[in-house]
Amino acid sequence: MNLNDLFNDMERYAKEANVPIMLKEGINYLQNFVKEKNIKNTLEIGTAIGYSALKIASMGSYVTSIERDENRYNKAVSYINSSDLKDNIKLILGDALNIKLYDKFDLIFIDAAKAQNINFINNFKDNLEDNGYIIIDNVGFHGLVGKSSEIPSRNLRALVRKIENFLNYLDEQTEFKVTRINVGDGLILLERM
Ligand code: SAH
Ligand code: MG
């Protein structure tokens, strides 16, 4: 299927089925980043239905992407198989925290369980090329980050606190240079010092 039609289909499906695919602004940033830095090999944590994986692949990078939800994984497989980019995307079904990979990537894009960001970084940082990048989505968490004490719902408050903790952890670590990028729902860019 033509890529534009496919993206439209995926956006429609994501809306209907409530799948939290990346926001337009964030996707645009990511696509430009892949092009500008000449990224050739990306690892994605959190495929969902394959939308961002296809967007990244369409900029000339190979993509390996991990998803733990079987229904979403199956949906991603069928979308990606109907595109010309199918040979450039490898999908893995499983929990990223239980998966060990041996390839090296010049970009690791983390867009999965928000409370697990530190664990994802620790599990995959050895897979990052020396001059590679990590990008993390949703660190603004719908405008709630920094306001956890005002959130009435216990679960949501706990989640937002975890993201706040993650941002504090980033401020204190010495391995990566941290840049906050204020597009979409908030992105973080990490580069090795
Ligand atoms: N990157 C996608 C959206 C991902 S939504 C896009 O923009 O198109 C986040 C996904 O991460 C969900 O589908 C969820 O099932 C998956 N996920 C959460 N924790 C995970 C884990 N530990 N391992 C693998 N997938 C995970
Ligand atoms: Mg996201």
pLDDT number for residue 141: 82
Mean pLDDT of 169-186: 93
Mutate to test the pocket of ligand 1, among 43, 71, 108, 111 (most ligand atoms within 8 A of CB): 111
More confident residue, 100 or 185: 100
Mean pLDDT of 47-66: 98
Pocket of ligand 1 (CB under 6 A): 20-22, 46, 48, 51-52, 66-69, 72, 95-97, 111-113, 116
Distance CA 144, CA 129 (A): 33
Distance CA 117, CA 114 (A): 6
Distance CA 121, CA 84 (A): 31
Query: What residue ranges do the domains of the chain occupy?
Result: 3-192
Distance CA 136, CA 53 (A): 14
Give the domain 3-192 fold. Answer: Rossmann fold (3.40.50)
pLDDT surpasses 90 at 193: no
Q: How far does residue 87's CA lie from ligand 2's centre (Å)? A: 24
Q: Which ligand is nearest to the CA of 116?
A: 1
From start to end of 30-183, where are the E strands?
41-45, 62-67, 89-93, 105-110, 128-137, 176-181
Look up residue 138 and give its amino acid.
N
Mean pLDDT of 11-29: 96
